[in-house]
Chains A and B, each alone.
Chain A
Amino acid sequence: MTIKVRFFAQFRELFGTDILTDAPPDGMFISLIAGIAHSNPEGYNAIFDKNGAFLEFVILMKNGKRIDNSDAAATTVADDDDIAVFPPVAGG
């Protein structure tokens, strides 16, 4: 029973993707991502600001649904969640 965390594009290059991990002790979305991001200082600074909040342009999803960055600090995660973190999209 784990959580899958996917990173895409630049973030995938920094952290890898399809990372299977347990929920953080506090069960919070932001703690989950920060815990992974701390493994790579360059990557951490690509996602978080100096106050530890998600940068405005970082896009967050939980189980295929967008999470507003302002809600991330209050969003929980649980086993079997599918989390995605990525930069602004550039298709077309």
Chain B
Amino acid sequence: MIAVQTADVDIGGLINAAKQRSTGAVVVFDGIVRDDDIVEMELEAYEDVAHKELEKIAADATTQFNLLSVDIVHRTGRLAVGENILIIVVSAGHREEAYAGSRFIIEAIKKGVPIWKKELTKDGGRWVPGEHGHGAGKRG
């Protein structure tokens, strides 16, 4: 499952679906809205491009780390403290591949997928700074 959506996702269901007979490890990354003295977090995406970028990252990770399955769900819209932002579920034959594949995916998302976060506070809001020099849809 690769998705950019407002709805939350059943992580337990993704874990169960990721298990195959050859699976030796499932790694779950769950990015959560942290209470940095904020009221809510607002997430915005260039959805068409973001979805394509997530699909490419999943394919690259699958090839590079011999993953058996990859699920990535990135949420958008307004989220409260404690809510899930990003869920990554990967399965592999061994833990090393599963951990490495999961790490590869989260780092690639932070560098290249067109999604932005705004922390909403009592006094207004502030955009979370992105990584300069990187961006989505690089040529090729």
Interface positions of A (Cβ within 8 A of B): 6, 8-10, 12, 56-57, 59, 61, 64-66, 68, 84, 86-92
Q: Does residue B38 face the partner (Cβ distance < 8 Å to A)?
A: no
Q: How many A-B residue pairs have CB under 8 A?
A: 93
Which A residue sits closest to B112, measured CB to CB?
A89
The B interface, classified by DSSP as helix, strand, loop or mixed, is: mixed
Interface positions of B (Cβ within 8 A of A): 31, 43-46, 48-50, 52, 74, 85-86, 106, 109-118, 127-139
Q: Is the pair A88, B131 in contact by a Cβ cutoff of 8 Å?
A: yes
CB within 8 Å for A92 and B135 given contacts A9-B44, A84-B46, A86-B46: no
Residues of A within 8 A of B112 (CB): 89
Distance in angstroms from B48 CB to nearest chain A CB is 7
Across the interface, B116 reaches (CB within 8 A) one of A6, A61, A65, A87, namely: A87
